[in-house]
Structures are given as structure tokens and as C-alpha cells.
Structure 1
Amino acid sequence: MNIVFMFKKRIMKNLLLTLACFCTTFYLMAQKADVNSLREAELNRFKIMVAQDGAGLDKVLHKDLVYIHSSGTQDTKASYIESIVSQKTIYAIIEPEEFTQRIYGNIGINTGIVNVTNKKDGAFLPVNRLKFTDVFIFENGRWQMVSWQSLKINK
């Protein structure tokens, strides 16, 4: 009977160890998915900006958005969407050069360098190379940008 008890104990230990390994692997995969979903949310936002999609911007921008341009001017969610929809600001091309993400609970931070080409009066303007930090919050099952700040840097 003692041998049967030891055998059952060994099986139980192996099952618990296997379960612990599975849970750890699943947790690490889920974190990677969060980073990937944050990255995709940012890239999608860039596409929406270029497409001048006001409804799309309304979904990806948080109601408390503070958007500080590289020029130092500041927008709210409403004023930022208005500037894009009215074509006061036209983003023709947005290309990330460096791009990293970090997750802290339901807060995501993107940092990097992005090359932005605007248009004015039908003509392309010189490329702005921007170093940026932005903050997203995960609410209602999706990432929304709540803050953006950028600075022009030398080419």
C-alpha cells in the first residue's frame, strides 16, 4: 500500500508540474499577444490617419486624448479629428523607423521614430522625422490612444 501511495504522489507531482509549465507558457504567449495587439493598434491608427477616416479615429482615440505635435501645439480628441477630416492637416505617408512597445497592466506605451510626410495644396511637404512617445489604454476590449508627444529630429 505504501508503494501505491508513493506512485500516486509521483503522478500528482508530475501533473502539477506539467500544469504549471502550461500555465507559464500560456501567460507568456498572452503577454506577447498584448504587445502585438498594441503594435497593430498603432499601425492601424497610422493607416486611419492617412485615410482621413473620422469614424475610425473616433474609435482609436480615447475621449481624454492629449495630442502634442512636434511644433508644440496641442489638440484634444475633437480638435485633432476635425483637423484631419477638414484636411487642415493631411498625412500622406506615415512610416515607422524604430518602434517598441511596453505593457503595464492595461496601459501600453509606444516609443520610436516615425517619418511623416504631409501634403498641402496637393504637394508633398518635406519628410518630418519625429521621435515620439504615446500612451494607449486598453478599455472596452480595444486599445485607444490617450496621449501623443513628438519632437522633430535631424535626418
Structure 2
Amino acid sequence: MTQDSSEEAAIRAAESALYAAMIAVDLAALDKVLSPDLSYIHSTAVAEGKAEYLDRVKARHYDYNSIASRDVVMRIRGDLAVMNGTLDMAVATAGGPNLMMTLLFVLIWTKQDGRWLLSLRQAINAGVRPA
């Protein structure tokens, strides 16, 4: 396995851990994968830092039911990695109905203290329907 392929595997594992923690409302696991300087930009144009995002997850403002990425392209440049692709997400927001969303996304990962942490997430809504 080359260095790039082992780094790509580590980043994909971090992405999987991120989605599993979001669905499980596992704040400790989320804290481990999110960078202290996180900027989490929702498809609704709401931008949150790490503390605000974790507070809203804890309050169940977001109720994630399923999250799966596809058609992912990854570029790794040293301690920075950029992922983009399509995300299929079933989520209810603020007690609203459960919606199946298709999002175009960008994730920026930075390697900090030997671990890949999510530094920026930005999504654009590509379609919504009832789940």
C-alpha cells in the first residue's frame, strides 16, 4: 500500500466514523473527528463552529437516520485532503419531517497530531423528498 493509499484509507475511515457518530448522536466520537476550528456549512447556508454544531447535535436539532457518500473524489496534499462527491442523507431538522436529501459536498480534512480531522464541510442541496 502506498503512502497516499494508506492516507486515503485513513481519511475514508474518518469519514465513516463521522457519519456513524452523527447517526448515533455520539458526541465523544464526534469530538474526536472534528477539528477545533471546524466550519460546518449546511445546505441551508447555516454555518456553525464545532461547539455550536455539537450543541445542536446534542439537543437533537438534527436527527440523522442515514448518511452515505458516493462518487467521491479525493485529493491529498501533505497534511490536507479535499473530498467531494454526492451525499444521500435522511435527516429531520428541528423536529420537522424526515427528509431524504441529496447533497453535493466538499469535506476538507487536516492531519493534526497524526489524525485526520474534519476542518470544513460545505454542502449544496441537489434534491429533497420525503423519506
Q: State the TM-score, normalized to the length of structure 2.
A: 0.90
Question: Equivalent residues in 2 for 1:1-155 (5 A)?
Answer: 29-119=2-92, 125-154=98-127
Query: Identity over the aligned pairs, expressed in percent?
Result: 27
The 4+ residue runs of structure 1 with deviation greater than 3 A are 119-124
- What's the CA shift for 1:97? 2.5
Task: Tell whether the 8 Å contact from 1:39 to 1:101 is kept in structure 2 after alignment.
Answer: no
3-state SS, counterpart of residue 2 of structure 2: helix
- What's the CA shift for 1:74? 0.7
1:68-118 deviation digits (Å, cap 9, x = unpaired)? 100001100001011111111111110112222210000011101001101
Task: Tell whether the 8 Å contact from 1:114 to 1:131 is kept in structure 2 after alignment.
Answer: yes
- What's the CA shift for 1:124? 5.7
Tell me how many residue pairs correspond in the alignment.
128
Q: Specify every segment of 5 or more residues in structure 2 that has no aligned partner in the other structure, as ranges.
A: none
Q: State the TM-score, normalized to the length of structure 1.
A: 0.77
CA RMSD of superposed structures (Å): 1.8
3-state SS, counterpart of residue 33 of structure 1: helix
3-state SS, counterpart of residue 99 of structure 2: coil
C-alpha distance in structure 1 between counterparts of 2:103 and 2:72, whole Å: 12
Q: Specify every segment of 5 or more residues in structure 1 that has no aligned partner in the other structure, as ranges.
A: 1-27
Which amino acid is 1:52 matched to? V
Richer in strand (by share):
2
C-alpha distance in structure 1 between counterparts of 2:115 and 2:58, whole Å: 23
1:46-87 deviation digits (Å, cap 9, x = unpaired)? 111101011111110001001110000110000101111111
- What's the CA shift for 1:29? 1.2
Richer in helix (by share):
1
